[in-house]
Amino acid sequence: MNTKKPRARRASGRQLVIEYHAGRRRLSDAALDRTLHLSWRQAEASLDLLDLLDRYGNELFEYHGLGYAAIRWIIHALRLTDRDVVYDLGAGYGRFVIYGALVSPAKFKGIEIVRERAAHIGRAGARLRLRNAFVVAKNAAAADFTDGTKFYLFSPFFTPTLRAVARQLETCAAKRPITVVAIYHAAIFFSRQRWLKKVTASLAKNFDDVPVGLEVFVSRSGRTRVSREAA
């Protein structure tokens, strides 16, 4: 008789992330970066600010990845379906795009100006065989994101770029309702846009612990916008 106990099967990286997203497993940000093939420190150390300014002009190149607990909060709050197209404008090394594409049925698209960072996202998506993760290496002010339904911005731009991006977002909103999740400077900027309505408080009732500095906005319908402007 075989008395050996069957060996417990190790969870795959994908399963680990799905369990983390469901709140059934704790993982550190470093462990999640490794699991998602997003370890970025070495690539980041090879970048030089003067070279970036020379290549792309005066943009905000500082990289901070949002913590995964906040990313998890956003993805739950957005209640995504397979009809959603979610953009990370200023996608960095792709924490939001890769995590989101793994745990949700929506399409995730990153726009990132720094070629090396965008390439990182492309490689991670390919290694995880994600068919719903995409990245474009481009200045967001010159990119086309009019197919988007939900947008996320972790304070990525100086105000002139933010203004150009907001103009295109407003054009998207004229075609279909959109949601914008913004943090810090971007959140303050979008609070002043009359075509957007802040809905963070209503989400806070459903989900505890709104991440610090984060606001969620939905676009006003054309009619509401016109009547507010006439008021």
Ligand X SMILES: C[S@@+](CC[C@H](N)C(=O)[O-])C[C@H]1O[C@@H](n2cnc3c(N)ncnc32)[C@H](O)[C@@H]1O
State in angstroms the smallest separation of the CB of 127 from ligand X: 18
**How would you write 57-94 as a 3-class SS string?**
CCCCCCCCCCCHHHHHHHHHHHCCCCCCEEEEECCCCC
- Structure token digits, residue 10: 């190790």
Bridging pattern class, strands 150-154 and 214-219: unpaired
Name which position in 32, 74, 75, 92 contacts ligand X (CB under 6 A). 92
State in angstroms the smallest separation of the CB of 17 from ligand X: 16
Residue nearer to ligand X on the CB measure, 73 or 157: 157
Torsion of CA 202, 205, 210, 216, to 10 degrees: -10
Residue nearer to ligand X on the CB measure, 184 or 197: 184
Name which position in 21, 35, 36, 95 contacts ligand X (CB under 6 A). 95
Residue nearer to ligand X on the CB measure, 93 or 220: 93
Q: Which of residues 46-85 bind ligand X (CB under 6 A)?
A: 59-61, 63-66
Q: Give the three-state DSSP class for 111.
A: strand
Counts for the chain of helices (H) and strands (E), in that order: 11, 7
Judged by CB under 6 A, does residue 33 bind ligand X? no
Residue nearer to ligand X on the CB measure, 97 or 220: 97
Closest among 154, 153, 174, 180 to 224, alpha carbons compared:
174
Mark 121-150 with x for binding to ligand X (rule: CB under 6 A) and - for no binding.
Answer: ------------------xxx---------
Judged by CB under 6 A, does residue 87 bind ligand X? no
- Structure token digits, residue 148: 């988007």
State in angstroms the smallest separation of the CB of 230 from ligand X: 34
Q: Where would I find the beta strands (DSSP E) of the chain?
A: 85-89, 107-112, 133-137, 150-154, 179-183, 196-198, 214-219
Q: Which residues bind ligand X (CB under 6 A)?
A: 59-61, 63-66, 88, 90-92, 95-96, 111-114, 117, 139-141, 154-157, 161
